[in-house]
Structure 1
């Protein structure tokens, strides 16, 4: 049996501490992508407990982009990124918008475009900016906390997706 080496290795081209957090962010994404690789359109669109895997993938990407543009950059969205989101995130009753009929490739493309944009902006960040609070109407937030939150958010929904896949696999 091959011995594992469980370490966090800072992603190169980033300030070292930021690179460690980026590694964690990318590791969560890697495990998500491995698990959803090759799932069917039916599995992607099936509604369980009020939402689908496709809806969760859309939500993960949208929230990541929102935190990047609204909290970290405090600027208008890149039009290319904005064009990836034709639906609002939530319905009037605060449930996730049901995303149906989009292929796995479309979801993966959206997730990758948003992540590439995030990495682009964090790659040039120094440790001072990383820890500098952005003042918003209802709270102050640092880019460091934003990355923590995005990591936690995606991990949470990754767990939901894994559970949904387990249920959907049993049904088929």
Structure 2
């Protein structure tokens, strides 16, 4: 996975033009996410601003869970099954379950999950065409959506929560 701070949204060898551009944006978003958590300890990753907030670690695992869910949605046109929900449900939904279950992990744990899931995305993207990005089917509230929107949402969700991470990091005691 190439996560250099490239500021060109351009073609990537081995991928179609539009998928390349989407990946360029995803790469930059991930690069800035990784910058925002660089050097954090397990205790810092577990820090919560208050009893109702999620930890930085939970938000990182949320990024992986969202991307995994969208892999299933867009590549297989299905939702997570019961076993997958046991693995990813707390991270996907956040809240009480995430506060209880997602703690005590070091930064490498989260980074490995993010990398593993992203590598799978890019592996499948190699097999997709630009026309695939335009394919529509009912999505949220039975509104039509295309794969381009769905992958934009994966990136947009990460950018949104990365803002929370930056805000929280500034409030970690010590």
Q: 2: CA distance between counterparts of 1:110 and 1:57?
A: 9
What are the residue-to-residue correspondences of 1:40-59 with 2, within 5 Å? 40-49=41-50, 50-59=53-62
The DSSP-based 3-state class of the residue aligned with 1:31 is helix
What is the total number of aligned residue pairs between the two structures? 163
Unaligned runs of 5+ in 2: 1-5
The DSSP-based 3-state class of the residue aligned with 1:14 is coil
2:127 is aligned with 1:124? yes
Tell me the residue number matched to 2:3: none
- Mark the CA change 1:55 to 1:6 in structure 2 (over 3 Å): closer, same or farther: closer
Tell me the CA shift for residue 55 of structure 1.
0.8
Tell me the CA shift for residue 100 of structure 1.
0.5
Q: 2: CA distance between counterparts of 1:6 and 1:59?
A: 25
What is the TM-score when the length of structure 1 is the normalising length? 0.82
Q: 2: CA distance between counterparts of 1:148 and 1:121?
A: 16
2:17 is aligned with 1:13? no
Tell me the CA shift for residue 150 of structure 1.
0.9
Match of 2:70 among 67, 71, 78: 67
Tell me the residue number matched to 1:133: 136
The DSSP-based 3-state class of the residue aligned with 1:61 is helix
Tell me the residue number matched to 2:111: 108
Tell me the residue number matched to 1:33: 34
CA contact (8 A) 1:57 1:107 kept: yes
Greater per-residue helix proportion: 2
The DSSP-based 3-state class of the residue aligned with 1:130 is helix
Q: 1: CA distance between counterparts of 2:9 and 2:88?
A: 36
Tell me the CA shift for residue 39 of structure 1.
0.6
Q: 2: CA distance between counterparts of 1:60 and 1:6?
A: 22
The DSSP-based 3-state class of the residue aligned with 2:15 is coil
CA displacement, residues 108-156 of structure 1 (integer Å, 9 cap, x when unaligned): 1111111111111112111111111134582332111111111111000
What is the TM-score when the length of structure 2 is the normalising length? 0.81
Unaligned runs of 5+ in 1: none
